[in-house]
Amino acid sequence: MAGRLNGKVAIVTGAASGIGRASAELFAAEGAKVMCADINGALVEEVAAGINAKSAGAALPLTVDVGQPAGIERMVADTVKAFGKLNVLYANAGIGDAATAESLTIEGWNRMIAINLTSVWLSCKYALPHMIAAGGGSIVNQSSLAGLIGVPSLPHYAAAKAGVIGLTRQIAVEYGPKGIRANAICPGTIYTPLVATVWERRGVGYGASPGASLAEQKKQAGMGNPIQRMGEVEDCANLALFLASDESGWITGTAMPLDGGRSAG
Ligand SMILES: NC(=O)c1ccc[n+]([C@@H]2O[C@H](COP(=O)([O-])OP(=O)(O)OC[C@H]3O[C@@H](n4cnc5c(N)ncnc54)[C@H](O)[C@@H]3O)[C@@H](O)[C@H]2O)c1
């Protein structure tokens, strides 16, 4: 089935890498015009060029730091200016880190909350009026399994991701009557640069043995899930596509685990 986002305009933040990149590519392949937004300007230009090589005019790159409120306002304004409207927001950009509640510093806490939570609210804030003007829209906010269950070494990350779930439910309830749906995705571990950073800072992967090779650690981490593998970026892009599309028209206010069954146990 192709064309599941035909005629839609979408913003994907964190589109230069990992889940955001896979999602921007999939959204465009399904017919959307996509603003590919990321702090990594060189990489996001490559991603947009790759999309346009397959489907000319489907993507625009935008260098933005979602830790800066003015940047987010500009991101939304530039999207509407370029493509004429806004139907889908995938607020996916984020950072990883590892600390304990004791070792975490106030700077580390504030940075995490700014990039992984405040930026999601601001993206929604600036997107909402345009989505309402377009007659409705779908907001997909990136949470995490760590927003649903306790995961060691992530006090600030878990707090930010749980906050994303609360924010998403609030928007679903308040803006549903205006045609806006809002859902959060809660992925378990998918090996991306973000997860590599967390594992490096912890010294070992989740559920893995210290000293094991990276390949072995990935295998061990996957075996902790009822579906015995780690996630792939495509698993998340597929769910984001479904939530962005009209196929999920009666789904709003959810925090969907995407975790190979991990949170069921
Ligand atoms: N990979 C996982 O296991 C996993 C699990 C749960 C949730 N998530 C969430 O998924 C999202 C995407 O992560 P990923 O795993 O694809 O990581 P990634 O590192 O591959 O991608 C993150 C992207 O966000 C961008 N980014 C970071 N800070 C930014 C900023 N201030 N402004 C704009 N862009 C910024 C990075 O440049 C990068 O392109 C994050 O919100 C992350 O918390 C990931």
What's the confidence (pLDDT) of residue 206?
Answer: 84
- 3 Cβ neighbours under 8 A, 6+ residues apart: 30, 31
Q: For the chain, what's the residue count? A: 265
Alpha-carbon span 207 to 209, nearest angstrom: 7
Same domain, 201 and 169: no
pLDDT of residue 1: 54
Q: What pLDDT is attached to residue 2?
A: 78
Same structural domain, 106 and 92: yes
Is the distance from the beta carbon of residue 40 to the nearest atom of ligand 1 less than 6 Å? yes
Alpha carbon of 20 to ligand 1 centroid (Å): 7
Q: Which atom of ligand 1 is nearest to the CA of 230?
A: 3
Please check whether residues 108 and 237 belong to one and the same domain.
yes
- 198-251 confidence digits (pLDDT tens): 999 988 888 888 889 999 999 999 999 999 999 999 999 999 999 999 999 999
Identify which of 17, 65, 185, 189 to mutate to test ligand 1's pocket (most ligand atoms within 8 A of the CB).
17
Q: Indicate which residue of 126, 157, 175, 206 is catalytic.
A: 157
Q: How far is the CA of 94 from the centre of ligand 1 (A)?
A: 4
- The verdict on residue 73 lying in a domain is yes
CA angle 158, 223, 198 (to 5 degrees): 35
User: Degrees (nearest 5) of the Cα angle 88, 37, 33?
Assistant: 45
For residue 261, pLDDT over 90 is answered with yes
Does the beta carbon of 91 sit less than 6 angstroms from any atom of ligand 1?
no
- Domain around 137: 9-188+232-259
Q: What are the pLDDT digits (tens) for 79-118?
A: 999 999 999 999 999 999 999 999 999 999 999 999 999 9
Mutate-to-test residue for ligand 1 from 194, 195, 233, 263, highest number of ligand atoms within 8 A of CB: 194
Strands 33-38 and 9-13: parallel
Domain with residue 23: its CATH number is: 3.40.50.720
**Domain membership flag for residue 16:** yes
Instruction: Give catalytic status of residue 157 as yes or no.
Output: yes
Q: Does ligand 1 come within 6 angstroms of the Cβ of 73?
A: no
Ligand 1: which atom is nearest the Cα of residue 67? 31
| The two structure tokens encoding residue 234 | 């495509």
Ligand 1 pocket residue status of 65, Cβ below 6 Å = yes
Token digits of residue 194:
């973000």
- Are residues 76 and 29 part of one domain? yes
Q: Specify whether 112 is located in the same domain as 93.
A: yes
DSSP 8-class letter at 7: T
What are the pLDDT digits (tens) for 21-62?
Answer: 999 999 999 999 999 999 999 999 999 999 999 999 899 999
Q: Are residues 173 and 53 in the same domain?
A: yes
Q: What angle, 0 to 180 degrees and rounded to 10, lies between the N-to-C axes of helices 106-113 and 155-175? A: 30
